[in-house]
């Protein structure tokens, strides 16, 4: 009886070891598979984090086009210069000016901020360069 009990314990000990080895083996294979999948995702530019970045870069001007041109005209200013010192800085009104310039209302854009003639072409250049770098490089 005692011999059977010892054999039984030995059998379960071996089974436990084999199960543990099997679990370790499958876990390492699973990790290798997920690492390979992640590497392939990193290599594919359309499923990388850069895709979400470029998607957001491309969507901002499109969202501004969809919004009405007077969307930012009303409301409180978020400019610290206006809030703390009650003086306009060089950037005050540039968001409203860009919004009106995108909608081809250049007269109001010029009235909101004169720097729109410099800022808008620079923003367009950066936007086109980011898209060009993503798709053609």
Q: Is the Cα torsion angle 56, 57, 60, 62 positive or negative in sign?
A: negative
Please write the tens of the pLDDT for every residue from 39-92: 555 555 555 667 777 788 888 888 888 988 888 888 777 888 888 888 888 888
Please write the tens of the pLDDT for every residue from 44-59: 555 566 777 778 888 8
Specify whether the CB–CB gap between 94 and 116 falls below 8 A: yes
Please write the tens of the pLDDT for every residue from 98-130: 999 999 999 999 999 999 999 999 999 998 888
For the chain, the structural domain boundaries read 2-43, 46-136
pTM value is: 0.58
């Amino acid at each position: 009886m005692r011999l059977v009990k010892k054999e039984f314990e030995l059998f379960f000990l071996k089974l436990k070891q084999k199960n543990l080895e099997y679990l370790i083996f499958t876990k390492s294979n699973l990790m290798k598979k997920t690492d390979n999948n992640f590497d392939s995702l990193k290599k594919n530019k359309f499923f990388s984090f850069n895709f979400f970045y470029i998607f957001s870069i491309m969507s901002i001007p499109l969202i501004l086009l969809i919004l009405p041109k007077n969307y930012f005209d009303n409301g409180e200013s978020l400019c610290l210069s206006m809030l703390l010192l009650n003086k306009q800085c060089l950037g005050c009104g540039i968001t409203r000016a860009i919004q009106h310039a995108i909608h081809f209302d250049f007269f109001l854009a010029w009235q909101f901020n004169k720097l729109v003639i410099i800022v808008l072409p620079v923003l367009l250049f950066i936007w086109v360069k980011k898209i060009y770098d993503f798709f053609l490089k």
